Amino acid sequence: MRRIFTPTDMRVRLVPILLAVFLAFAAGCASTPEPEETDVVVDSEFSDGAPPPMEEEVVEETVSNSMFQIAPVYFEFDKSDIRPEFATILRNAATNLKDSGSTVVLEGNTDERGSEEYNLALGERRAVAVRKYLYNLGVPMGQMTVVSYGEARPAVQGTGEKVWQLNRRVDFSVR
- Gap between the Cα atoms of 82 and 74, Å rounded: 8
- Gap between the Cα atoms of 169 and 157, Å rounded: 14
- Gap between the Cα atoms of 4 and 111, Å rounded: 34
Q: Residue 16, exposed/middle/buried by CB under 10 A (0-12, 13-18, 19+)?
A: exposed
Name the packing angle between helices 87-100 and 116-136 (round to 10°). 70
pLDDT (tens digit per residue) in 104-151 = 999 999 999 999 999 999 999 999 999 999 999 999 999 999 999 999
pLDDT at 54: 52
CB-based contacts of 40-48 (< 8 A; 24+ apart in sequence)? 40/155, 40/156, 40/166, 42/156, 42/158, 42/162, 42/163, 42/166, 43/162, 44/162, 46/161, 46/162, 46/165, 47/161, 47/162
Name the packing angle between helices 7-31 and 116-136 (round to 10°). 40
pLDDT at 45: 41
Domains and CATH numbers, the chain: 44-174 (3.30.1330.60)
Backbone φ, ψ for residue 53 (5° rounding) = -65, 150
Residue 27 or residue 119, greater confidence: 119
pLDDT (tens digit per residue) in 70-107 = 999 999 999 999 999 999 999 999 999 999 999 999 99
Q: Is the pLDDT of residue 165 over 90?
A: yes
Q: Is-above-0.85 flag for pTM?
A: no
